[in-house]
A and B are shown apart, each in its own frame.
Chain A
Amino acid sequence: MARFAGGKAPFVRASEEKDYGTKVIMRDVMIALLPVILFSWYKNGIQVYIDGNIGLLEMFYPLFFILIGGFLSVLMEGIFYFVTDKENRTIKSVMQKLSLSFPAIPGLILALLLPLYTPIWVLIFAAFIATIIGKMIFGGFGHNVFNPALLGYAVVGFTLMGVINNAGGLFNASEAVVDAYAGATPLGKLASSGQINYDTLVAPYGSLWDFFIGTIPGALGETSALAILFGGLYLVIRKVIKWYTPVIYVGTIFVLSWIIGAVTGDAGLWFPAYSILSGGVMFAAVFMITEPVTTPTNVLGKVFFALFLGVFTVLFRFVGSLPEGVGTSLIFMNIFTLPIDKFTAVIRTKRFKKPGGLYLGILTGLLVILAVYTLVKAGAMYTVYIPFLGWVI
């Protein structure tokens, strides 16, 4: 007779097989970031070098900046583990913990969210906020409430944007000399001019095709919809993300922007297309609102999350202080991930029976009210087409 090991059913696990598991999922996310990183390097480094505006060494700076972002967050997480784990303070233990918490991803995404000429000390500060405050204080991988990279970006964006702009901001050497840009991103123009006008918003940057390819000014990773779509396609094929989360999010923004454009007198499809191709909507849609830890778990929750997020993004574009609206709305919606998860799980099982129907009603009602409010608010900012609603707001 022999004593055998214990365990719980099932004794067959997909995670014990090769090429499946959380590590593989996180590796796939890094692979999906690759086209974005490479395009960013091309646009801000190689192309500028070809233009003759920077030297050979400086050509590698964008790549260096992104990689240093990833390195910084690995380093900080390692130091955090080393400092906090008093009993087992060895390099081996730290390395093992790092292998289970995927530290490079927040740093890489953070660097992709920041402008090219962010001073390195600002990057270090942002990485500290992202990894230590955004992730480790909450309990590490799997427990963070806010998207760590986004938290780092938001804190820096609210406090140190002036410093970044003084250092050169998001215009690379080739873009800084273009007069038509007038030192503003497409969304910056929308915020400052308040006009939905093709000649002001799109024409200075070329055409919508340039928006799609990504040769417009913007933060490192956010400009190229094409590169992001490549990454997104890979993630969908690898079943890391669900295709409909980004589609619903982008679709909501598209539809709302179309209506806003139409209300203000321009029903062309260029405005909704411009809305989804600027301000990092695409980057957030593929890499941030699908981030599993900080967004709802079940299918229905993901759908509601994407819908709410789309409405909030449009709303914050017109009322918030950061011109993108994407970051603000995502940070805001991260807070509601847990309740959305709980309510949608009940809706999944109870359907329209009590209390599922009630929860479904509340969520849909809130969504409709917000969407109407956004449309009215945005419309009222730009025109006087619906003046009778002015006193309501």
Chain B
Amino acid sequence: MIFQKAKGIHIEGRKEACKKIPIKDYLSPKYVYIPLLQRATNLKAEVSVGDEVKIGQLVATNEQQMNIRVHASISGKVTGIKKAWHSSGKMVDSIEIENDFKNQLIETIKKEENVDSLTREQLIKKMELAGITGLGGAGFPTHIKYKTKAKIDAVIINAIECEPYLTCDFHFITKYPEKLLKGATYFMRAADAKKVVVAYKTYNNQIREALQPFLSKYPHVELHPIKNIYPAGWEKYIVEQVTKKTYNGLPAEAGVIVNNSATAITFCDAVEMNIPLIARPVSINGEGILHPSSFYVPIGTKVSELVELCGGYVKDLDPLKYNYIAGGPMTGRAIFIDDLIVNDTLGAVIVKKASEGVYPECLGCGKCADVCPVYLTPTEIKKAFERKDVKLLGDLNANKCVECGLCSYICPSHIEITEAVAKGKDLLRKGAK
């Protein structure tokens, strides 16, 4: 009651409209825009205007920071470096490639013969060369996770997708169940672990049904159902549920590595076919979309083309009364112009009604503190931020905020409390330096 951790809350999923329709491939857009930005890191273009590129060719890198590598997702001609709207909410320089519709693959993309004899180091090297990043939303380069010195007991595959409206992981898993298990197995070998745990939501029982037939071939895999609450997909929550252990910094402290399910499927292709990260699933959903559905698209595709494939926006949509959200509705970002491109962390674009109306002041009900999964007191952090009291922000652990959005969600007075806490966190970080 007093020192107990919040257990998360149930939020209506609103996934059904999109779940009914199977995922579609949309692999040959006319143009793609490969952003020269990944996880707040600027990249250097490795190709110049006029070059012919093949699918899988290296086009941008940053070797200083975590060796980020980005590859061409279609074959064709580089026609320019142009600004494009990126899911970070900014316009970002991007490499524009015009499709020649020949689908030429780079020579390195071929079947790997000796898959079963690959060592741990070779698997991690493949991860690094394929430029695999977390497709769940944080976009952390995966090979860094596996270069840990800690003893890893298990690899956890996060198939939870706890935010409302999101269905791309669900679709991707049910389409490629065996690839998921294979990719997870390669992850397990890359970590020298003994088992794989696939964590999914009880709500998404179809995931269990899809994986069940293959489990006899993969005896080291176990399925772990998780309650249908938010934020069940948060890394720390899953680790605590699965291992009953907790950690402060990285999951490796608890002897596990957590990876998103789409990452595992991508890694399976990277190991068996040497295909780098060039495509990802995206859901287009929300009340503003005529026929919501999910797509498997090359990175750099324009979202507006996908929206058109969904039948466009609903009739008579007044854009100024709708939000165009990059990412999930709990943690995503409102994009002002619907000219977004798909990048590695973009799992969904949601068009839904913007909030309107006037609401009363904070009444001090304390619901925000009750639901906080890291047991902070958002109201006090907000006050401390408004007074610019850095010491108090430190005492209130403002840096522990995971920006899950639950405090704003639950607030009966519709206060932007998550934003205030996030600002407090920034102030503490700057002030502490």
Residues of chain A having any CB pair with chain B under 8 Å: 1-16, 20-25, 96, 100-102, 140-143, 244, 292-293, 295-300, 302-303, 341-342, 345-346, 348-351, 355-356
Contact = CB atoms under 8 A, between A and B. Distances in A.
Nearest to A338: B383
Interface string B392-433: 100111001001011011111110101100000000000000
Interface in B347-363: 350-352, 354-355, 357-363
Contact of A101 (B350, B360, B418): B360
15 contacts: A8-B419, A9-B419, A13-B414, A14-B409, A14-B410, A21-B412, A22-B359, A100-B359, A100-B360, A141-B361, A292-B365, A293-B364, A345-B379, A348-B3, A348-B375
A11 B366 contact: no
Interface residues of B, number: 65
Interface of B: 1-3, 11, 164, 304, 319-325, 329-339, 350-352, 354-355, 357-366, 369-370, 375-377, 379-380, 383, 392, 395-397, 400, 403, 405-406, 408-414, 416, 418-419
A9 B418 contact: yes
B397 A299 contact: no
B376 A299 contact: no
Contact of A292 (B1, B366, B406): B366
A233 to B, nearest CB: 19
B336 A13 contact: no
Contacts of B337: 1-4
Nearest to B286: A11
Between B11, B355, B380, B403, the greatest number of chain A beta carbons within 10 A of the residue's beta carbon is seen for: B380
A48 to B, nearest CB: 38
Interface residues of A, dominant DSSP: loop
Contacts of A293: 363-364
B377 A345 contact: yes
Given A11-B352, A24-B412, A292-B365, A5 B322 contact: yes
B366 A302 contact: yes
Given A341-B380, A348-B375, A7 B323 contact: yes
Given A5-B319, A14-B411, 8 more contacts: A6-B323, A6-B336, A9-B332, A10-B331, A25-B363, A142-B413, A293-B363, A349-B395
B406 to A, nearest CB: 8
Contacts of B419: 8-9
A17 to B, nearest CB: 8
Contacts of A5: 319-323, 334, 354
Given A101-B360, A348-B375, A4 B334 contact: yes
Given A11-B350, A13-B408, A303-B2, A4 B323 contact: yes
Given A4-B324, A5-B322, A297-B364, A15 B411 contact: yes
A22 to B, nearest CB: 4
A11 B376 contact: no
B333 A9 contact: yes
Nearest to A298: B369
Given A4-B334, A297-B369, A349 B412 contact: no
Which 9 residue pairs of A and B lie closest in terms of their CB atoms, listed nearest first? A142-B361, A10-B405, A345-B377, A345-B380, A2-B319, A5-B354, A4-B324, A349-B397, A297-B366
Nearest to A11: B329
Given A1-B337, A292-B364, A297-B369, A11 B359 contact: no
Contacts of B412: 14-15, 20-22, 24-25
B182 to A, nearest CB: 35
Contacts of B392: 342, 346
A9 B331 contact: yes
Contacts of A298: 366, 369, 377, 379-380
